[in-house]
Amino acid sequence: MTSPPATPRIYVDADACPVKDEIYRVAARHGVPVSVVAGNFIRVPQDPLIERVAAGAGMDAADNWIAERAGDGDIVITADIPLASRCVKTGADVIAPNGKPFTEESIGMTLAVRNLMTDLRSAGEVTGGPRSFAPRDRSAFLSALDQTIRRIQRRRAEQAATFKG
C-alpha cells in the first residue's frame, strides 16, 4: 500500500530571483509552503509557510540543496539552466522568473544553447546577455506559477481519491 501524495512545495533559487514577492503572494493564496534557498542569509517575510535556507557559500551550495530535495509534484523557480535540468529529471515542475517553463522536451536544447553561448563568450565573442526583465515577464510568471500550482493540486486530489478508493 502506498501513501497519499505529499503537499507540494515551492523551492526558490533566491540569490538573483526578481519575483520573490510574487511567489510569496501566490503561495499564500494556495497555502503552499516555500523554501527560499540562498548561499547566505536572505530576508524573507515572517510567515509559517516560508522557510529561509542558507545553504552555504560553497560553489553551487544552494543549487545542490534544491536539487537534492525537489521532486515530483514540487515547483522550482530558477533561471539557472543546469539546476533546472537537474530538477526536471527528478520530476519537479521548473519555471524561470520570466514564466518560461523548463520541461523534459525543452531542457536539452536550452542546456545546449547555454553551453554554446558560454563557449562563444570564453572564445572572445560578444554575444550580449539575456534581455532585461520586463513587466510582461512578471505577469507571465504569475500566470505560469498559478497554473502550475492548480495543475499539481488537481493531480494530487485525483491521486488522493484513488488512494482512498
Separation CA 35–CA 69 (nearest Å): 10
If one compares 57 and 146, the residue with the highest pLDDT of the two is: 146
Residue 60 in this model has a pLDDT that exceeds 50: yes
The lowest-confidence range among 33-37, 96-100, 114-118 is 114-118
The chain-wide mean pLDDT, for the chain, equals 87
If one compares 58 and 83, the residue with the highest pLDDT of the two is: 83
The lowest-confidence range among 51-65, 83-97, 99-113, 151-165 is 99-113
DSSP three-state, residue 29: helix
Separation CA 17–CA 36 (nearest Å): 10
* Cell numbers that stand for 60 in this block: 553551487
Residue 149 in this model has a pLDDT that exceeds 90: yes
* Cell numbers that stand for 97 in this block: 522568473
Model confidence, pTM:
0.84
Encoded amino acid at 40, one letter: N
Question: Which pLDDT tens digit goes with each residue over 32-53?
Answer: 999 999 998 899 999 999 999 9
Separation CA 146–CA 163 (nearest Å): 26
Sheet holding 34-38, edge to edge: 50-54, 34-38, 10-13, 75-77, 93-95, 101-102
Beta strands in 5-104 (DSSP E): 10-13, 34-38, 50-54, 75-77, 93-95, 101-102
Encoded amino acid at 57, one letter: A
If one compares 77 and 109, the residue with the highest pLDDT of the two is: 77
Average pLDDT over residues 65-76: 96
Q: Report the share of the chain in percent with pLDDT over 70.
A: 82
| 26 CB-contact burial (10 Å; exposed 0-12 / middle 13-18 / buried 19+) | buried
Separation CA 53–CA 34 (nearest Å): 10
The DSSP element (H or E) to which 118 belongs, if any, is helix 104-122
Quote the pLDDT of residue 1: 41
